[in-house]
Structure 1
Amino acid sequence: MSGPLHLPSLESEVLEFWRRSDIPSAFARRNVDGPRWVTYEGPPTVNGAPALHHVWTSTYKDVYARFQTLRGKRVERKGGWDCQGLPVEIAVERSLGLKNKRDIEEYGVADFVRKCRELVDGNIATFEQVFSRIGYWVDFDNAYRTMDDGFLESVWWQIKQMWDQDLVFEGSKVVPYCTRCATALSSHELGQPGVYREVTHRSMFVA
């Protein structure tokens, strides 16, 4: 036999069977009258193409949700996308060749935000394709996006509820600060590779 051997793609056959039989939706409709088991979908940050760690974390979350569904629980699987924060902004800065906050202001904040939205919109489609291939049956047709007005308003609503209960207060706290970005950093952002490094510095303190 000469020439390449073309075998039918098992993956494509399985995906086509799921689509034709509407398996993900049918699985989601199971146990509509059963006790609820709530899982909060920690949304992936769509600052780039999906990587192996996205597959890992999605698989972990999927196992628990499927297990509870098979136990007769009603598990609602609402997808979501993290569209904001430094990872998205830094990705756009690099694509535009911007170095710091001053460069962003000179470029134009409104135009910069538009570029961030374009980046996110383009990556969401790629994420959905990958998640479909690994059988991650989450409702992405009605997924929330953290940059949408409805989501932002829901956060402000929650803050208002805490304010009304006197749970909001002003205080002082030492936080990491990025001199390049001119903004405070979360512990998660500080823990990303290449962000933080220890240096030896000779200092003198006078009481």
Structure 2
Amino acid sequence: MVVGRYAESEGLVFQVGEYVICSNKGVCIVENITTLNISGVDKEKKYYILKPLYTSGSTVYVPVDSQKEPLLRKVIDRGAAQKLIEAIPEIPLLVIPNDKLTEQVYKECMKTNDCAELVKVIKTIYLRKQKRVQAGRKVTAVDAKYFHLAEDSLYGELAVALDMERNQVSCYIATVIGELKTGGK
């Protein structure tokens, strides 16, 4: 069976021109699938050449047969993105046993490359930030860092799935959730 221009027997999952999620690089486009002519690199091994969509000047090289990090997966489709947004009110918060484990819990969620896990991180940190501000305390550096990372990852993927600008995603989510709460659509 042929997948795009490449045979499935070659172990290729993604095609040139396809959007993928690459661990901490976010949304990338598969620019090429080729061998690398770099000293010390197996000349027979094929690589996905990825261009991050929201990081200019960056290139990521991922072995086609890689079973390790960075995880690669297809960007969710429009229907899945819409279902995720509609499910946000029901997605539970993270359970953090104690403050010393906060960053570890965030890191584990981020490593999954799963949109629902990113929503958990965002919701949990949002509520933590509100409580801290109400108590007259500053937001922790760890919360600020992971809130930003989770938002960038989630909003980047949703923007591609919904064919909109990344800076429009937050307002779109708020509108959809607002309509769900009021029963209007």
TM over 0.5: no
Q: TM-score, normalised by structure 2?
A: 0.25
Q: TM-score, normalised by structure 1?
A: 0.23
Q: Which has the larger radius of gyration?
A: 1
Task: Say which structure, 1 or 2, has more relative contact order (CA 8 Å, 6+ apart).
Answer: 1
